[in-house]
Structure 1
Amino acid sequence: MTKNIVYRILLAVVTLLFSSCSGNGNELHTSEIKFHPGHYVAVAPFFEISEIKYLDEAAVQGVNKRYFWRALEPEKGVYDFSSIEEDLEYLDRHDKQLVVFLMDMSYSGKSALPPYLSEYEMHSDWGEFSPVRWHPFFLERFVALGKALGERFDSHPGFEGIAIQESSLGITEEGYKKFGYTPEKYRDTLIDTLTILQVSLPNSHVFWYSNFLPDNDEYLYQVADAIEDSGVFMGGPDILPYRRFLSQVSYPMYEDYQNRLTLFCSAQGDSYKHHKNDIRVDEQEPVHEEGYLTMEEIFLFARDSLHVRYLFWDYEYEITEQGQWTYADAIQVIRKYPTFNNSMGPPGN
């Protein structure tokens, strides 16, 4: 009860502050809580949305696009949201929504963070850049970015919300020790991050990609409990029915919270080439004799076992394995199942 009262007070204060502000540069405004569940196309940073095939399909609700933090805040406190504004303008002409996926982690060999945060980042030998999210200064700057985005875009009817990257971290034991990591610190940081961001978005939503929490995955349940009445949506980065660690840690949360939180998931590159022998991420087994799971099987698992209401499909066209599927196959499934799991109506939180 106390948690609900505190959240309602914070929400009322932020809403009052936003309503007292004069124009934020958007010609379109809404005071309603946005809720557009269904199929979305997921694209990489700097991808031109105008190049997305089948965007005008009626069953496609919008786009989930990744944006590097360094591109949105080139200097401390100096924000450049022009790329988001351009994408919103284009999608508005096509009557589609935009989810802004904030990247504070990178797998491409180049940092996702602004230069002034470089000391709060760990590099791996395999090209991964992971943020020290539990550091107080990092948290302060990340929620400042979220607040700035909320002030600029929350009232825009085409802005569905903000997504934050998966909870898993690619940091070495040495890195954890250097920055005084504990699972309790990280749990509390996740709760603070999600709660503050959602209060900054009274008319939109935060999409929390949850999968693992180093040294204590059970703490993810405490995070989920803490955000239950906040308006935050919970999901994850993988739809891989036969991946064992997901079945053991991540997927049970979907079952447990299906009636408590609005759920989502994303079909990323691995979903287009997943098979029954694909049980471990670090061991590649021969493709099962039945071949790769079809895109329809991937969808039905997300719908019926993960109970999702938002589904983000990677715009996947690169062929890396013989017989794998592409987004051209996914769009057939999107057409066949234009809506799903929507009988419960909008979230009540």
Structure 2
Amino acid sequence: MIETFFRRGIVATAILLIAANKLAAQENYIFFSHREQSGKNIRDDKALLDPRFTGAQIVYTWRNLEPSKEQYDFSAIKEDIDYLNALGGKKVWIQLQEKSFAPDKKNVPDYILEDPRYNGGVIKQSMLSAPERDPDKAVAADEYGWSAKMWEIPVRDQFQKLILALGNEFDGKVEGINFSESAIDIGTEAADGTTSFPPDFNPRNYVDAIESNMIVLSQAFRRSTPMVYLNFLPGEWLPWDDKGYMKRLFTKAKSLKMGIGGPDLMPYRKSHMNQTYGFFKEYPKELVKGMAVQDGNLRQTNPRTNQKNTVNDILKFSRDYLGLDYIFWVEEQPYFEQKVLHDLPEKT
């Protein structure tokens, strides 16, 4: 009896240690949606000094990294690595941004926009239905953004050359790298729920392009973590209209042993539960998972509590349901100051 109890105690202790280690392994980063000239906003950010944050996830645009065709400027990333490292070994996570969410901003190089071989280079998208949209903002303020036409092979070829150049320079020097989200809001929805897309867009070709970029990213970054951001895909709305697109990309990520991630960490939100959260839950525990708490996420209501999301809600859901390794926190005020900094637990 005593021996059995002792063995059970060892097992119970082991389970608790595994759980504690998983919790301790979850890393928190501050998310910077843009980088000011000379990285001023990063250098002025006091929260980066907080030991609860391992480092910074920083958006670097394709346009800024490639000012002219195949002439790359990685000086901003190098400066940020040096600066973060000087803060006691903080780390940089790259978000490689080819989409924009503002009507006056295109995040691709000028040559992609100007050379006819790239067929315009970008396509217009709408933000009106995005869950993070501030309902108090005028429609004109954020109605349209732009997405690179990755389904155009010449556009994709140039983007992949950039990925390979980044890998050659920074693999092993940054914690990880991810693309912007898979969601692209284009087309016109009819009353019957069907969507008509622009003549030069096909959802299957778009999914093909994401998969192709995933393969190159996983080849370019073998020591740092390559991550694909999957949230929504055009032409598919799960579980009712399942074309197999999302399943295919998660399956490909698993075969490549790459990280999966996404924006908008909102516990039990129905649309996200149907689209990607279930795939996150089932993704192998030994592979990397991360998500961002972005603008608007702490304004959303938790369906389980009927109250606005709390930091504890997000941490519990990220740990117990999704099994995340990384959380990237946007500094949206007043939520970051009043909630995140107040409620985020100390590192153990």
TM-score bracket for this pair, using the shorter chain length: 0.7 to 0.9
Give the partner amino acid of 1:145. Answer: L
Give 2:299's aligned residue. 273
- Contact residue 29 and residue 326 of structure 2 kept, 8 A: yes
Pair 1:45-2:34 in alignment = yes
Give 1:160's aligned residue. 175
Query: How many residues are aligned here?
Result: 284
- Give me the TM-score of the superposition, normalised by structure 2: 0.75
Larger Rg: 2
Q: Secondary structure, in 3 states, of the residue corresponding to 2:47?
A: coil
Aligned-pair distance for 1:261?
3.2
Aligned-pair distance for 1:64?
0.3
Give the helix-richer structure, 1 or 2: 2
- 4+ residue segments displaced more than 6 Å: none
- Contact residue 258 and residue 307 of structure 1 kept, 8 A: no
Give 1:89's aligned residue. 82
Pair 1:191-2:211 in alignment = yes
- Give me the TM-score of the superposition, normalised by structure 1: 0.75
CA distance in 2, matches of 1:240, 1:123: 27
2:96 pairs with one of 84, 99, 102 = 102
Within 5 Å, which residues of 2 pair with 1:92-131? Answer: 92-94=85-87, 95-109=89-103, 110-118=105-113, 119-124=120-125, 126-131=143-148
Aligned-pair distance for 1:260?
5.9
Q: Secondary structure, in 3 states, of the residue corresponding to 1:112?
A: coil
1:204 pairs with one of 201, 224, 229 = 224
- The alpha-carbon distance between structure 1 residues 79 and 242, as it changes in their structure 2 partners (threshold 3 A), is same
CA distance in 2, matches of 1:195, 1:131: 18
Aligned-pair distance for 1:114?
0.8
Give ranges in structure 2 of 5+ residues lacking alignment.
1-24, 114-119, 127-142, 189-194, 238-243
2:70 pairs with one of 67, 74, 77 = 77
Give the partner amino acid of 1:201. Answer: F
CA distance in 2, matches of 1:313, 1:180: 33
- Contact residue 98 and residue 161 of structure 1 kept, 8 A: yes
1:263 pairs with one of 269, 289, 292 = 289
1:307 pairs with one of 303, 323, 335 = 323
CA distance in 1, matches of 2:112, 2:270: 35
- Contact residue 29 and residue 328 of structure 2 kept, 8 A: yes
Give ranges in structure 1 of 5+ residues lacking alignment.
1-35, 280-287, 320-324, 340-349
Aligned-pair distance for 1:234?
0.3
CA distance in 1, matches of 2:257, 2:92: 17
Pair 1:316-2:332 in alignment = yes
- The alpha-carbon distance between structure 1 residues 155 and 176, as it changes in their structure 2 partners (threshold 3 A), is same
1:219 pairs with one of 245, 249, 260 = 245
Give the partner amino acid of 2:109. Answer: P
2:313 pairs with one of 297, 311, 314 = 297
Pair 1:331-2:320 in alignment = no
- The alpha-carbon distance between structure 1 residues 98 and 37, as it changes in their structure 2 partners (threshold 3 A), is farther
Q: Secondary structure, in 3 states, of the residue corresponding to 2:156?
A: helix
- The alpha-carbon distance between structure 1 residues 327 and 73, as it changes in their structure 2 partners (threshold 3 A), is farther
Aligned-pair distance for 1:63?
0.4
Aligned-pair distance for 1:115?
1.2
CA distance in 1, matches of 2:300, 2:203: 34
RMSD over equivalenced CA pairs, Å: 2.3
Identical-residue share of aligned pairs (%): 26
